[in-house]
A = this chain, B = another copy of it.
Amino acid sequence: VTAAGEGPVAILAGGGGLPMALVESLRRRGRSPRILAFRGFADRRLARLSDGIADTLDVESVLATLARWKPALVVLVGAVNRPAPLAVLSAFSAYRNRQHLAELMASGDDGLLSAVIRLLEERGFTVGRIDELAPELLAKQGVLGAVAPAPEAVAGISRGFSLLAALSPFDVGQAAAISGTRVIAVEGPEGTDAMLKRVKRIVGRGVKDRRGVLVKTAKSSQDLRIDLPAIGPRTVLRAAAAGLAGIAVGAGATLILDESRTIATADRLKLFLVGHGTNATTS
């Protein structure tokens, strides 16, 4: 299923470093993807490389571009903020009835992205998975850096993954922070960076020995064509600033942007970085 067919891979590119990482990965494999960059989200370097620019909500123009490109696969990648409700309503109004639109707006982020994927499939496009196109971008299992987690942190990691599994049916955050066995924060739509600021306020004051852990993974029911959770060097910096001892991500269910720099940053700051094996990650 991995990008068979004649056409190119079309990348619908949002923000962050992931779209560029995917482009580079595909090029290393001798494939040149077509890039449609989302205005205001895709970074400048990527936008310069792109074959087209579109507004996230200009569904019509996105579909028209894809129809011209006739891609073998379409991949959605990179962060796109949830747009304002009324904007979504008007963007989708040509494609969905009122009832469907209301459900769409009331659903979680995954609900919205699933709707986009369904729309693409209805138009005959095949939507690809980044873990199949560029498996090397996914977190591997085991201790990834030079620092191993203390036994106490291992208990925290296990508790964190149980918590995220319990939250899976609710389409809420894909990350949490645990200190000891105490849950310190659960990520909502505000994202990991904002959650880590909260963690800093809660554990930061006067903690001498860092003991907390950031856990992050895809929901167990996650459609892997939908943007996977990701960490990168910045996540490590923020976790360190929040007074955490390390980061555990779901192996095969989380992306690591700029892996070598992410690991080097963790090593330098003496944070552990662990790819946690779960049974429920690849569905």
Binding site for B on A (CB under 8 A): 84-86, 105-109, 111, 152, 159, 162-163, 166-167, 169-173, 179-186, 188-190, 194, 198, 201-202, 205-208, 211
Docked-complex contact B189 and A202, CB < 8 angstroms: yes
The contact sample of 28 A-B pairs, CB cut-off 8 A, is A84-B205, A84-B206, A85-B207, A86-B206, A86-B208, A106-B180, A106-B181, A106-B211, A107-B181, A108-B181, A108-B182, A108-B183, A162-B170, A166-B167, A166-B169, A166-B170, A167-B186, A170-B183, A171-B183, A173-B186, A185-B188, A186-B188, A188-B198, A188-B202, A189-B202, A190-B198, A190-B201, A194-B198
Closest residue of chain B to A211, judged by CB? B106
Chain B residues, CB < 8 A from A194: 198
Known A85-B207, A180-B105, A205-B84: A172·B186 in contact at CB below 8 Å: yes
Chain B residues, CB < 8 A from A206: 84-86
Docked-complex contact B106 and A182, CB < 8 angstroms: yes
Contacts A106-B179, A107-B180 known; 4 new A-B pairs at CB < 8 A: A106-B182, A167-B186, A171-B182, A183-B188
Chain B residues, CB < 8 A from A108: 181-183
A166 to B170, CA, bound (A): 10
A17 to B206, CA, bound (A): 29
Closest residue of chain B to A108, judged by CB? B182
Known A86-B206, A189-B202: A106·B152 in contact at CB below 8 Å: yes
